[in-house]
Amino acid sequence: MASIEYPGGAFVYVDGRRWFVRESGEGEPVVLLHGIPTSSFLWRKVLPILGRERRVIAPDLLGFGRSDKPARGASTVTELAEQLARLLERLQVERCALVGHDAGALVAVALLERWPERVTHLVVTNTSFRPERWRGAGFSPLSLLRVPLLGDVAIALARPWMLRLAMRPFLADPSVLDRETLRGYWEPFELGFRRTLVRLARQPLFSAADLERWRVALTERCGEGRIPLLVAWGARDPQFRLDEAEEYARTIAGARFLAFIHASHFLPEERPRALGRAIAVFLERPAAVPVLS
């Protein structure tokens, strides 16, 4: 396996493309998947907690973070899942637990749908299988990027303080986004992510049919006697609301459920230690995590 060490992780080459991958620990593998507009940086504080007992892998998906940015822009979720499968093969990971946040949870379920034999456990956090929740309501920075020319000018002029404003409504405690943390989230914008984000705004990552298919895969392949499922949620998320999390926790037999009442959308950033410990317990003994009564 060709890899190049880099502060915080290493570059790994797969099919001629360069991935940035953070790793910690040894043992049974668990893979942490970020969403939009983040990178593996989101998981930096969870990695060492899970790494005490397991091999933890957190990649920057292609198009994100420090990984290569495809010339045509963003890949679809299905393509991201296929790319991830090839990365895991290169890392010699045959089976693993998957933990996905936001769009990363969709990537995890898309991989589960196609290769269920490769997944030992699944954790989904602050995501949705409802098309309207991905569109959001009213004006947002992404809605501005959808406008030709205006969106191109806006992304070219974007600065770190604008990212802070965009993330602020999705944090229960905005103070966690201090200068150093903001710098970590902003770094990809200086490495080609601006182009990816514009493509993400203008070209859908998935269709409504995709979301329904993945929802069915989640309900049919996870739960009691099947792949253990943990639904972990930042309860104050204004877009991916708690009611949807509770729906899956109630309808999938044996699904485990945790709501973090002092967290919003970016749960791994706001409650990394609590989330990391909860995932560790779930991976060791799923029945130790409560179900939703």
Task: Provide the pLDDT for residue 155.
Answer: 78
Q: Could you write out the three-class secondary structure of the chain? A: CCEEEECCEEEEEECCEEEEEEEECCCCEEEEECCCCCCHHHHCCCHHHHCCCCEEEEECCCCCCCCCCCCCCCCCHHHHHHHHHHHHHHCCCCCEEEEEECHHHHHHHHHHHHCHHHEEEEEEECCCCCHHHHHCCCCCHHHHHCCCCHHHHHHHHCCHHHHHHHHHHHCCCHHHCCHHHHHHHHHHHHHCHHHHHHHHHHCCCCCHHHHHHHHHHHHHHECCCCECEEEEEECCCCCCCHHHHHHHHHHCCCCEEEEECCCCCCHHHHCHHHHHHHHHHHHHCHHHCCCCC
Stretches in the chain below the pLDDT threshold 50: 1, 138-139
The verdict on residue 24 lying in a domain is no
Q: At what angle do helices 77-90 and 103-114 cross, to 10 degrees?
A: 70
Encoding tokens for residue 166?
Answer: 């965009």
CATH number at residue 114: 3.40.50.1820
Residue-averaged pLDDT of the chain: 92
Cis bond upstream, residue 37 (ω within 30): yes
The verdict on residue 169 lying in a domain is yes
d(CA 248, CA 230): 10
Angle formed at CA 84 by CA 83 and CA 86, multiple of 5 degrees:
65
Q: Which domain holds residue 154?
A: 81-288
Q: Is the dihedral of CA 208, 123, 257, 240 positive or negative?
A: negative
The verdict on residue 211 lying in a domain is yes
pLDDT tens digits, one per residue of 157-210: 788 998 999 899 999 999 999 999 999 999 998 988 888 888 887 888 899 999
The verdict on residue 14 lying in a domain is no
The verdict on residue 236 lying in a domain is yes
pLDDT tens digits, one per residue of 109-137: 999 999 999 999 999 999 999 998 887 65
Task: Provide the pLDDT for residue 156.
Answer: 78
The verdict on residue 234 lying in a domain is yes
The verdict on residue 9 lying in a domain is no
Q: CA dihedral defined by 111, 114, 117, 119, rounded to 10 degrees?
A: 10
Q: Which residue(s) pair with 14 in the sheet?
A: 17
CA distances from 129 to 1, 15, 54, 56, 169 (A): 36, 31, 29, 26, 21
The verdict on residue 153 lying in a domain is yes
Task: Using a pLDDT cut of 70, give the percent of the chain over it.
Answer: 95
Report the number of distinct structural domains present in the chain: 1
